Amino acid sequence: MIIGRNPVIEALKNGRDMEKILVGRGAEGSIAKIIAMAREQGVTIYQSDKAALDRLAAGRPHQGVIAVASAYAYGELSDIYEKAAARGEEPFVVILDNLEDPHNLGAIMRTCECSGAHGVIIPKRHACGLTEVVAKASAGAVEYVPCVRVTNIGQTIDGLKKDGFWIAACDMGGSLYYEQDLSGKLAIVIGSEGAGISRLVKEKCDFTVSMPMVGKINSLNASNAAAVLMYEVRRQRDGR
């Protein structure tokens, strides 16, 4: 956490990756400058009451503002492409649509590293970022798997399509995942824990892959579903 007005302003000036900024309700003065800088950089701002800020600051003077900085640096799409090129492989990306559970994000990044996926794409808003909890759940994979944070998932998918990617949605009502061709440049989209993939994002996908569900529960945990698909991509790429 970055606590206090001047420390937060300096962190914003230096382009520090941030998950969010909490500002006190009714706070004035340089808070307006902080809000303007944060919006310009796409940092999410939350209004918070004084008691909550006091708790987070644990006795330190917060002056009505606390920023939560990212535990690790985010990557760029070029990092994903370079990683694929270095391995002599077609790029394979996992897109997470508003995934909020840090344990799921960490587990997915761990599977990315183990299965050979080249990177993860997440949105800036309404999603978990690279926190210490994510780092722990990833078992160190955050050090090796590029995580790219984007403003708009839909626009990012459009850009990937222009680069020759096929986009696969993981959702109900699609073809069985092991019967679908998952070769070539590929991005798989995994939805949030509760709502799944948003309608606008799903409409941009080229096809949908599903898993057979024979029990009384009709869905898998997001990280489990991602793991199944990543290893199917691995199997097909290995020609097994």
Residue 165 — pLDDT band, cuts 50, 70, 90?
very high
Per-residue pLDDT for 27 more than 80? no
154 — pLDDT class (breaks 50, 70, 90): very high
Do 214 and 141 belong to one domain?
Answer: yes
Mean pLDDT of 33-55: 89
- Asked if residue 196 and residue 83 are part of one domain, the reply reads yes
**Closest alpha carbon to 34 in 47, 17, 21, 18:** 21
- Beta-ladder partners of 123: 150
Q: How many domains does the chain have?
A: 2
Cα 240 from Cα 192, distance rounded (Å): 31
CATH code of the domain covering residue 42: 3.30.1330.30
Same domain, 24 and 82: no
Give this prediction's pTM.
0.81
| Banded pLDDT at 1 (limits 50, 70, 90) | confident
HSE-CB for 139 with a 13 A CA cutoff = 7
Q: Does 71 score more than 80 pLDDT?
A: no
Q: Domain range spanning residue 135? A: 77-237
Judgement on whether residues 61 and 81 belong to the same structural domain of the protein:
no
Least confident of 29-33, 75-79, 115-119, 186-190: 29-33
- Do 8 and 62 have their domain in common? yes
Task: Among 38, 53, 69, give the residue marking a domain's end.
Answer: 69
- Total residues found in the chain within this entry: 240
pLDDT at residue 125, rounded to an integer = 81
Joined tokens for residue 84: 């694929």
The per-residue pLDDT of the chain, averaged, comes to 91
Could you tell me if 175 and 86 lie in one domain?
yes
For residue 165, give the CATH number of its domain: 3.40.1280.10
Domain match, 124 and 209 both: yes
pLDDT at 43: 86
Q: Do 132 and 224 have their domain in common?
A: yes
Residue range 115-151, pLDDT digits in tens: 999 999 999 888 888 888 898 899 889 889 999 999 8
The single-letter DSSP state of residue 129 is: -
Last residue of a domain, one of 69, 88, 110: 69
Contact, 104 vs 193, CB < 8 A?
A: yes
In the three-class reduction of DSSP (H, G, I as helix; E, B as strand; rest coil), residue 190 is classed as strand
Contacts for 78 with CB less than 8 Å, ≥ 6 apart: none
pLDDT tier at 99, thresholds 50, 70, 90: very high
pLDDT over 70, % of the chain: 100
Residues 106 and 205 in one domain: yes
For the chain, count helices (H), then strands (E). Answer: 9, 10
pLDDT class of 85 with cuts at 50, 70, 90 = very high
Considering 16, 46, 69, which residue would you say is the last residue of a domain?
69
Residues 59 and 12 grouped into a single domain: yes
122 with 212, same domain? yes
In the chain, beta strands by DSSP E: 2-3, 18-24, 45-48, 65-69, 92-96, 119-123, 147-150, 166-176, 186-190, 207-210
Residue 85 and residue 175 in one domain: yes
Provide the pairing of β-strand 119-123 with 166-176.
unpaired
Give the residue from 71, 74, 150, 135 showing the smallest Cα distance to 103: 135
Q: Please name every residue paired with 92 in a beta bridge, in sequence order, or none if there are none.
A: 186
Q: What are phi and psi of 116, to 5 degrees?
A: 100, 10
The pLDDT of 192-202, averaged and rounded, is 88
